[in-house]
Structure 1
Amino acid sequence: MFKEFVEIFLLLQLFTGCSFQQSLPTDASYVVGVVEFRPELLNMDIAGRTAKHLKKYKKLLRSKDAKLTDIVVFPELTLNTLMDPVPVPDPSDSIIPCVPNSSELISQLSCLAIDTGKYIVINLSESFECDSLPVHDPRPCDPSVPHRYNTNVVFDRNGTVIARYRKTHLFREPGTSVTYQPEVVTFDTDFGVRFGVVTCFDLLFAEPTLELVKLGIRDFVFPAMWVSEPPFLTAVQIFESWAYGNDVNLIAAGTNYDPSGSTGTGVFNGRNGAVFSFITGESTRKIFPVRVPKLPSSPSTPLDNDSETVSGRFEGSSLEQVYMGKDFPERFTTVLIKPEQALKMFNRTVCNGDFCCQFHIEFETIYGRFVSHLYRLAAFDGVRTFQGYADAHVSFCAVITCLDESLASCGLPNHNSSGYLKFNRLSVSGDFIANGTLAMPNSLDNKFHSLDAKHYQFYSTVDYPNDRQRAVLTLSRTMANLQTFGIYAFNHRDFDYFIPDASPPQEDSTTTRPPNEDDDGSATAVKASAWILGLAALGIVRSTIL
């Protein structure tokens, strides 16, 4: 019956001259709707809570902001819960679950995809039975208790379930299962883009995320309920950093829930940086239509000029209400920058064990402004934990913010920057393990966005025989109100991976800061490439005065 309904519906669209397909394979871009969504509290009736969320989902998909979108991505854990999981069809069966007037959640979502004519990416709590597990899975499974996955399900414009991905790396999700082996999931679209599918905490690990990169996937849909952690892992900061490091499009839809520190939505266009970035402490349920350049592209790639999509870094409000986690600064090797020091141009090497970072800095302080924070040069190489849920080997070289002279204050969010100190020149470099390591530029301003990709240069060169990569990050304009500026790397041991080519610039270029930027109006022209090439000497400078 539902098949006949779908066929009749599609024929009606054809004969009335309506077409939901906005973008074509030959177009230079496509339009995505990314949703930031605040869920209801868990103190209400569960069935009523899910129904209320679904009603709002439908409203967003039928809103004028969704009009141009080809694909809409909803965030993690904002529809149903562990208490009301639902089965999800196997995509290999090419099922269209839509049944008119059905109360089943999957059926309603399928009908919604048909009704709106869009690809829809939804995160669900999925129920499963023990007999559905693959025969090679040796783990015990008790059929008398319920079992659940954290699952992304993708519907095409016809309402067909075309992809299903079960989250691999769980974070604070008791009662949720993972598959025996990580799933590597992709889906194709009628506008010529193949997407990889991952969820939230997966971003920090090799499988399946970097496995998809190795397969040549350049576009990722990414439902998330991210818990921000300065100085390196706040939401849109690490999203942009990861997309840049892999030179891919990352379509991130964020849960909006400040008590858990969850907010952060955006579209990140590889080495071109953020097309759109949003983070806020205010309750938000909104769809943002964003035109996404297909990769490979350049910042100068012309896109369709329309007034119905959004772009830019949206300044959030009430960010001080957002709970944020904390790194382990007591394990860092750091050197304090004293704003009153006479020498404001210096080179310095900072080592954490055998891992060393080079810094080349020129700064000035602005008379009359109070000292709202301090900066430290920081280096680290080792294994860290993510609140006990997983461990990872990370390495970084960075300038970070501290609220006072104590190490304990480093990495705490700085909401009251006076902009008293500005960096006229700032370069950071280090030698990282090559194979298995994703080394990324990582930056954060006082609005909790990354710096515009035009405002820095990043490159890495790989010495394959010695399994080393030299990474250099250079600020290309005067900048105040920095919270973080550096190179952050995940080393995935026993995973064969090399960072996509990011070669050093081949010729000199001059980058001049336009007026009226957020650097207090001090214009500075920087010979960016010459400045970078001069850093070679820093690799052998072991110490200088600070």
Structure 2
Amino acid sequence: MRLTVLIDIVALGLCLVVFSRAGDVSHYIAAVYEHNFKISLICSLFTCGRKGALQHMHENLDVYEEQVAEAAKQGAQIIVFPEDGIHGFRFTRHSITGYLETIPDPKEVSWSPCLEPERFPNTEILHRLSCMAQRNSIYLVANMPDRQDCAGADPQCPTDGRRHYNTDVVFSDNGTLVARYHKQNLYKEKEFDVPPEIEYVTFNTPFAGKFAIFTCFDILFREPAITLLEKHQVKQVVFPTAWINKLPLLSAVQFQQAFATAWGINLLAANIHLPRFKMTGSGIFTPTNSTFHYDIETSKGRLLVSKVPVPPPVQDDPSTASQSPQSPLTQNPECSRISTAILEPPAVFHANMMNDNFTFTLLTGKKGELSVCNGHLCCYLTYQQSNTNGELYAIGAFNGLHKGHRQSFLEVCALVRCAGDSQDTCGADISQASTTFDFCLQGNFSTPYVYPSILASGVDLVIPDGVGWTSGSFLMSKEGMSKGLVTAALYGRVYDKDKV
């Protein structure tokens, strides 16, 4: 009898421990860390060898150790670290060699580096990351450089006989390597190679189901990001990034939130923190809420921990996959007093915004209704503003190939604060404003892939009141802003017209 009672008490205690760790099954706790990266200019510019590279990487991993422990202390079940956070950037193909580790494919090899550190040679960083995950019972996502030998019959193998990849790794809460992803869309990364085949990488967790993973510049292109969301019906993404903020349309947190809103997903985004390079902006984004960090003034890293809703299960069936973004904010969107007909032709002008030639028209009163067109794209605005303080605003439209590092086809409607008091400053980089707006912005987009964002003064994010399709146009509305408006944008992507 006593033994039975003792067993029941022990079993109850174990149940309580498990429940306290799992928490509310409708939510889980996620963490992202914006890392103030420790740079080694000597290793970036010159080959410092394996010993020097390890010393440099362990300096950054010392910070990771602290943050993983703190996140676990706050109940986090998964933590995401940024792109380049362990090794850095601005390498040559030669200078990065000391940083490379050969990462096995977890689809082919089941391996915990913490438990089997000698199974594969020269894997000290994998070993340390694995032990962090195991010691703290947490899923861990990190970015590091990978070397894969390719000599032999491979006709595309580089002349040095190896491929270098910008690589994300995922460890389970027992330290097992469960996912490896090689970045597809490189951004001025001459030290790395593009994978010969596009990789669609997902992993499963016991607390929240399936996640997808891709890196930084990948989020702006169809492959692999959009295919993962459409054909694999992924509703959660981990996103290591080293994002340089580009105002007024592509601030890191601005597009991260826009992407989560448009697709109705959870996005766990971790950025590097290097203000002198305009690199900051991380967050835990859900379709209707955001916990984010943006700090261009200080050199401090930042840990974010937040409760995240577990999305309802979906069938991994390509035949039933959605063919376009599906935001939960799309119910009954409407714009009062807005017309889809061309309004009175405005006085238009052209100005450069983020290297593209936008067609603009100025807002000339405290309230009104305007339209502006660029090619077949026409943008419409109904607005009422207050606290103007003489600030100049314009509505702009662009329809064409973006002249950036990669030529991507855009359709954009944007309401922006001009940087000065003349029209040639419209579209310039600015982050402060005092004019508040009630507005409705819409456009006759030809693409279903439209990413809505509202950016307030100080690069503060604002959730739209309504966003979605109505009568063949995509719209976004907001009333009662408490801070000045910097940008309201509908950023459309026509992936099929990208120029490779």
Q: Is the TM-score greater than 0.5? A: yes
Q: Which amino acid aligns with 2:265?
A: V
Q: Which residue of 2 aligns with 1:395?
A: 411
Deviation at 1:407, TM superposition (A): 4.9
Give the TM-score taking structure 1 as reference length.
Answer: 0.72
> Closer, same or farther in 2 for the Cα pair 1:69/1:25, shift >3 Å?
closer
Question: Are the equivalent residues in 1 in contact too, given 2:291–2:304 (CA < 8 A)?
Answer: no
The counterpart of 1:374, out of the listed 392, 397, 404, is 392
> Closer, same or farther in 2 for the Cα pair 1:350/1:80, shift >3 Å?
same
Q: Are 1:56 and 2:63 counterparts?
A: yes
Q: Which amino acid aligns with 1:456?
A: D
| Partner Cα separation in structure 2 for residue 162 and residue 235 of structure 1 | 28
The counterpart of 2:156, out of the listed 139, 146, 151, is 139
Question: Are the equivalent residues in 2 in contact too, given 1:443–1:450 (CA < 8 A)?
Answer: yes
The counterpart of 1:112, out of the listed 110, 132, 144, is 132
> Closer, same or farther in 2 for the Cα pair 1:101/1:488, shift >3 Å?
closer
| Partner Cα separation in structure 1 for residue 443 and residue 156 of structure 2 | 43
Matches within 5 A, 1:32-431: 32-43=30-41, 45-63=52-70, 66-81=73-88, 82-83=96-97, 84-92=99-107, 93-99=109-115, 104-131=124-151, 138-142=155-159, 144=160, 147-214=163-230, 215-270=232-287, 272-295=288-311, 327-328=353-354, 331-338=357-364, 343-365=365-387, 369=389, 371=390, 373-386=391-404, 388=405, 390-417=406-433, 419=434, 421-423=435-437, 425-431=438-444
Question: Are the equivalent residues in 2 in contact too, given 1:22–1:69 (CA < 8 A)?
Answer: no
> Closer, same or farther in 2 for the Cα pair 1:78/1:428, shift >3 Å?
same
Q: Which residue of 1 aligns with 2:348?
A: none
> Closer, same or farther in 2 for the Cα pair 1:127/1:222, shift >3 Å?
same
Q: What secondary structure does 2:37 align onto?
A: coil
Q: Which amino acid aligns with 1:203?
A: I
Q: Which amino acid aligns with 1:358?
A: Y
Q: What secondary structure does 1:112 align onto?
A: helix
Q: Which amino acid aligns with 2:414?
A: A
Q: Which amino acid aligns with 1:235?
A: A
Deviation at 1:105, TM superposition (A): 1.4
| Partner Cα separation in structure 1 for residue 377 and residue 328 of structure 2 | 34
> Closer, same or farther in 2 for the Cα pair 1:446/1:21, shift >3 Å?
same
> Closer, same or farther in 2 for the Cα pair 1:276/1:397, shift >3 Å?
same
Question: Are the equivalent residues in 2 in contact too, given 1:357–1:397 (CA < 8 A)?
Answer: yes
Deviation at 1:422, TM superposition (A): 2.9
Q: Which residue of 2 aligns with 1:525?
A: none
> Closer, same or farther in 2 for the Cα pair 1:206/1:20, shift >3 Å?
farther
Deviations 1:419-451 (A, max 9, x none): 2x332x3111111113xx411212111111221
Q: Are 1:448 and 2:459 counterparts?
A: yes
Q: What secondary structure does 1:441 align onto?
A: strand
| Partner Cα separation in structure 2 for residue 110 and residue 241 of structure 1 | 33
Question: Are the equivalent residues in 2 in contact too, given 1:456–1:477 (CA < 8 A)?
Answer: no
Deviation at 1:21, TM superposition (A): 8.3
Deviation at 1:478, TM superposition (A): 4.6
Q: What secondary structure does 1:358 align onto?
A: strand
| Partner Cα separation in structure 1 for residue 415 and residue 295 of structure 2 | 23
| Partner Cα separation in structure 2 for residue 160 and residue 470 of structure 1 | 47
Question: Are the equivalent residues in 2 in contact too, given 1:223–1:253 (CA < 8 A)?
Answer: yes
Aligned length: 427
> Closer, same or farther in 2 for the Cα pair 1:415/1:241, shift >3 Å?
closer
Matches within 5 A, 1:530-541: none
Q: Which residue of 1 aligns with 2:468?
A: 459
| Partner Cα separation in structure 2 for residue 20 and residue 223 of structure 1 | 29
Deviation at 1:403, TM superposition (A): 1.2
Q: Are 1:483 and 2:486 counterparts?
A: yes
Give the TM-score taking structure 2 as reference length.
Answer: 0.79
| Partner Cα separation in structure 1 for residue 19 and residue 192 of structure 2 | 36
| CA RMSD of superposed structures (Å) | 2.8
Q: Which amino acid aligns with 1:286?
A: R
Which is further off, 117-126 or 38-47? 38-47
Q: Are 1:433 and 2:451 counterparts?
A: no
Question: Are the equivalent residues in 1 in contact too, given 2:436–2:481 (CA < 8 A)?
Answer: yes
Matches within 5 A, 1:483-502: 483-493=486-496
Q: Which residue of 1 aligns with 2:49?
A: none
| Partner Cα separation in structure 1 for residue 424 and residue 328 of structure 2 | 41
Question: Are the equivalent residues in 1 in contact too, given 2:457–2:483 (CA < 8 A)?
Answer: no
> Closer, same or farther in 2 for the Cα pair 1:391/1:380, shift >3 Å?
same
Q: What secondary structure does 1:442 align onto?
A: strand
Q: What secondary structure does 2:449 align onto?
A: strand
| Partner Cα separation in structure 1 for residue 72 and residue 132 of structure 2 | 16
> Closer, same or farther in 2 for the Cα pair 1:47/1:97, shift >3 Å?
closer
> Closer, same or farther in 2 for the Cα pair 1:29/1:109, shift >3 Å?
same
Question: Are the equivalent residues in 2 in contact too, given 1:25–1:192 (CA < 8 A)?
Answer: no
Q: Which amino acid aligns with 2:489?
A: G
Contiguous gaps of at least 5 residues in structure 1: 1-13, 300-325, 463-468, 496-546
| Partner Cα separation in structure 2 for residue 64 and residue 229 of structure 1 | 30
> Closer, same or farther in 2 for the Cα pair 1:259/1:20, shift >3 Å?
farther
Deviation at 1:106, TM superposition (A): 1.1
Q: Are 1:471 and 2:471 counterparts?
A: no
The counterpart of 2:27, out of the listed 13, 22, 29, is 29
> Closer, same or farther in 2 for the Cα pair 1:354/1:100, shift >3 Å?
closer
Deviations 1:55-75 (A, max 9, x none): 111121122664401011111
Q: Which amino acid aligns with 2:105?
A: D
Contiguous gaps of at least 5 residues in structure 2: 1-10, 43-51, 89-95, 313-326, 330-351
Deviation at 1:238, TM superposition (A): 0.5
